A and B are shown apart, each in its own frame.
Chain A
Amino acid sequence: AQKVTQTQTSISVMEKTTVTMDCVYETQDSSYFLFWYKQTASGEIVFLIRQDSYKKENATVGHYSLNFQKPKSSIGLIITATQIEDSAVYFCAMREGRSNYQLIWGSGTKLIIKP
């Protein structure tokens, strides 16, 4: 069965440091995409970054990057040089090739950036 698990409920770090949020997934498919979304305090949900299961290179967008460890079914989100405005809830999601474009979501990790 498909499943996405985020075990870290909440993380608190100092501003300007690097933080990693964990996500593990379960799938029977060899082809899938992994996504990270951010939900701000206002409730807005925005897409951040994605990883193709066939690509070995870790995706990077701005100060977001991924640590894709396929043998461990793990896709960590790394935020470098964190800023106060990075405080939010971060969701990991997966789409399998046979899922008709549906996303399977994790339960989210709340990130608190302290000044």
Chain B
Amino acid sequence: EAAVTQSPRNKVAVTGGKVTLSCNQTNNHNNMYWYRQDTGHGLRLIHYSYGAGSTEKGDIPDGYKASRPSQENFSLILELATPSQTSVYFCASGEQGGWDAEQFFGPGTRLTVL
């Protein structure tokens, strides 16, 4: 059974619209992450969280907000979507306290902003 799930899996949005990407994990991990993946760039960190109520900016936070209302859920919010935010978005979870710990990824969300 998948431990990190994302919804929706595919999304088409209009420029200027609001988009919310959701992530749920059953690993009971404190840390959660949002990445975007674009050809030639690998994975780039947008926001991350150390636990419920916390959000931190990653390497490319501009244009994105994050929300961590509970241990299990972590959302990525695009208040005013732009075509440059067309990408594949991955959520991941990881244990806190062990910096050798791997991250567990969701299946990804393909977002197209027209």
User: What is the interface of chain A, defined by CB distance below 8 A to chain B?
Assistant: 33, 35, 42-47, 50, 52, 91, 95, 97, 99-103, 105-108
A43 contacts B108, C-beta separation under 8 Å: yes
Known contacts A91-B43, A101-B94, A102-B45: does B99 contact A33 (CB below 8 Å)? yes
Main secondary structure on chain A at its contact with chain B?
loop
Q: Is B107 an interface residue, CB under 8 A from the partner?
A: yes
Mark interface residues in B69-92 (1 if CB within 8 Å of A CB, else 0): 000000000000000000010101
The A/B interface has a contact count, at CB < 8 Å, of: 47
Task: Give the residues in chain A near B102, CB-CB below 8 Å.
Answer: 35, 47, 50
- Measured between C-beta atoms, what is the minimum distance from A2 to chain B in Å? 11
CA distance A34 to B87 in the complex (A): 26
CA distance A33 to B103 in the complex (A): 13
B45 contacts A45, C-beta separation under 8 Å: no
Residue of B nearest to A107 (CB): B42
B residues contacting the other copy or chain, number (CB 8 A)? 24
Known contacts A43-B88, A91-B43, A107-B42: does B48 contact A102 (CB below 8 Å)? yes
A108 contacts B45, C-beta separation under 8 Å: no
B100 contacts A52, C-beta separation under 8 Å: yes
- Measured between C-beta atoms, what is the minimum distance from A60 to chain B in Å? 16
Known contacts A97-B99, A101-B96, A102-B58: does B42 contact A45 (CB below 8 Å)? no
- Measured between C-beta atoms, what is the minimum distance from A87 to chain B in Å? 18
Can you list 7 pairs linking A and B with CB atoms under 8 Å apart?
A45-B90, A50-B102, A101-B31, A103-B103, A107-B40, A107-B41, A107-B42
